[in-house]
Structure 1
Amino acid sequence: MRSIVTGFLLAYASCVHAHDSKSGWRYDAFCCNGNEHTGDCQMIPSQSVKVIKDGYQLTLTPGDHRLVTRQHVFNFPQTTTRRSEDSEYHLCLFPDENTPRCFYAPDMSF
């Protein structure tokens, strides 16, 4: 019985994990839905990101993120920005392209 419960818990735990970025680190489970091919999190071009007072401004066009079909401008305060583990910018959009869920950035320096 113990092995059945252990197996169930391992299977459940593997289902709730977020998918990995292309460089291998894992997005937070809250941020990510799907996998590396269909998920809503992915790296975005650094040219799409501008450092502004107290945070970031993202200007995305089609091709910058797999879900983006038209231009979007999003502002993220530094206080809600998550730390990128690969020195790249990443964005999670959920449930659609109009709703930014999480933004990851490398350490900010001025």
Structure 2
Amino acid sequence: MPSVSAHESHKGFKYESYCCNGNSETGDCQMIPTKSVRVVRGGYEVSLAPGDHRLVTRRHVFNWTQRETRRSDDGEYHLCLYPDENTPRCFYAPDMGF
């Protein structure tokens, strides 16, 4: 596996330092499955189950407005949870394309 910096996903996507604490193995930011994200009026609904993010131990539903969402330039969804699994800090989404 290639070397990954503290604020970078396994695919090379770079997280903003405000969002990311830790590293690619133990940090609070990571790519989440597309199936966990639903586009809703004005933004996104993120439904996580254990296994969707390394910090998640039970089901969670988070809502993000389009304005709060950060842009992902790798075509994937990413979520940063800090200081615990109950507190979403940053959500990254690719352009909606419309």
Normalising to structure 2: TM-score of the pair? Answer: 0.92
2:89 aligned with 1:89? no
Q: Is residue 18–residue 29 contact of structure 1 (8 Å, CA) maintained in 2? A: no
Partner of 2:97: 109
Percent identical: 68
Deviation at 1:21, TM superposition (A): 1.1
State the structure with bigger RCO (CA 8 A, min sep 6), 1 or 2: 2
Name the CA distance, whole Å, in 1 between partners of 2:94 and 2:81: 19
Normalising to structure 1: TM-score of the pair? Answer: 0.82
Question: Relative to total residues, which structure has the larger helix share, 1 or 2?
Answer: 1
The AA in structure 2 aligned to 1:97 is E
Q: Is residue 20–residue 80 contact of structure 2 (8 Å, CA) maintained in 1? A: yes
- Give 5+ residue unaligned stretches, structure 2: none
Q: Is residue 76–residue 93 contact of structure 2 (8 Å, CA) maintained in 1? A: yes
Offset from partner CA, 1:59-81 (integer Å, 9 cap, x none): 00000000000000000000010
Deviation at 1:109, TM superposition (A): 2.9
SS at match of 2:67: helix
- Give 5+ residue unaligned stretches, structure 1: 1-16
How many residues are matched? Answer: 94
> Which has more radius of gyration?
1
Deviation at 1:18, TM superposition (A): 5.1
2:19 aligned with 1:31? yes
More displaced, 18-27 or 67-76?
Answer: 18-27
Could you list the structure 1 runs, at least 4 aligned residues long, displaced by more than 6 angstroms after superposition.
Answer: none
Q: Is residue 18–residue 26 contact of structure 1 (8 Å, CA) maintained in 2? A: no
